[in-house]
Amino acid sequence: MKCLVTVLFFLWMASYCSCRLISEATGRRFNVLDYGADGNGKIDATPAFQKAWGDFCQASEEMPTLEVPAGKTFLLKSVSFSGPCMSKNPHVLIEGTIVAPNSFDSWDDDDYQKWIGFTAVVGLIVDGGGRFDGRGEAWWKACNDNDSACSKRRQALHFNKCNGLRLSNLHHVNSQKGHICINACDDVEVSNLQILAPDESPNTDGIDISESNHVNIHDSFIGTGDDCIAINGFSTSINVTGVKCGPGHGISIGSLGKDGAYETVEDVHVKSCAFKGTQNGVRIKTWETGSGYVRKITFEDITFVNSENPIIIDQQYNPNGNRGGSGIKISDVTYRNVRGSSADEVAIALNCAGKAACTNIVMDNVKITSSNPGKQIRASCNNAKGTAISASPTVPCLSS
């Protein structure tokens, strides 16, 4: 009996020490309420957040936490949180709601690019189940009315040079412009996000990626007025899995090559994604005057429900007209196990330019029908070369 008590004592001590180590490892908590934020959503909390960030970023222990508490609403103006921070895993826990000013004169005029920015914060973790509300309605109206305020819209959440970023379990709504921008980042994990804006809200992209490598986006719902996800220039090793998209303009690579720019994108894999009522499905778009390449792209296990332009390559993208031959080469693009319904007569459009063309385009087990009962659909292609292992509708420029 004595031996048993001794064993139980040591097991208890081991458990106690383990709990203490885990507690200590998680680091201190820096609650923005302790720095003067009132949480009523009416008084500017930006100075309090900046003070809290200053102490939080200097904390050297493992995983300190900047806490935005539940049940509170915080009004933030344009703000930048810059690193490097002392900790290898700084944790921003957003359990409450962060709202933007909803009038034009409440913003400073010196930053028209972003609302909330993180720069050079390595190992950053942002999660917590909270909410970002960009309150962009006034800016959308300004754009529809051709008001000059439209040019002063800000992207909501901007990450620049944040290698090792982990972004998860958050709600993002009604940004003035794009909701999330990932720029010049490596080793990024994005998951379990909900991003929402009305389908008529202009340029409200869900997630924009540029100049970034090894980005993994999965298990999220995105419904906005523009691209659910846009993969832009100099991005490689991008994986998108289990994303539900709609409304919106689909998942796009590009646009690339605007104003004659040289841009590249390669090694992109979009898998197990669903599109419902979108203006486009899976799209590659390049400006005709640009140069560079898009290659090693796979769209696999994709479903469409009443989507316009389910599969589209537009190598002559130019919303303003004045088309010419494209210099951006598109190659090694595979569509595998693609199913669903098209709202348009043209379900597959391969609009490739004669100068660069599209090569090694593969359709493998693609079956798209019309969402309008009794109507036929077709494929349209120009200057595309490759193979159709099994494709319906038939793609005439690809060999079977």
Is 171 one of the annotated active-site residues of the chain? no
Does residue 253 contact residue 221 with C-beta atoms inside 8 Å? no
Distances (CA, A) of 371 to 6, 310, 360: 72, 12, 29
Is 44 one of the annotated active-site residues of the chain? no
- Closest to 288 in 3D by CA, of 210, 357, 360, 211: 357
| DSSP-assigned letters across all residues of 41-73 | EEEE-HHHHHHHHHHHHH--SSS-EEEE-TT-E
93, β-bridge pairs: 67, 127
Q: Residues 172, 208, 249, 314: which is the catalytic one? A: 249
Say which residues have a Cβ less than 8 Å from residue 396's Cβ, sequence separation at least 6.
379, 381
Tokens matching residue 260: 């004659």
DSSP-derived pairing of the beta strands 65-68 and 29-31:
parallel
- Closest to 100 in 3D by CA, of 157, 55, 57, 148: 157
Q: Residues 127, 133, 205, 226: which is the catalytic one? A: 226
Say how far apart CA 27 and CA 334 lie, in whole Å: 46
For residue 291, whether the previous peptide bond is cis, meaning omega lies within 30 degrees of 0, is no
DSSP-derived pairing of the beta strands 155-160 and 125-127:
unpaired
Active site positions, annotated: 226, 249
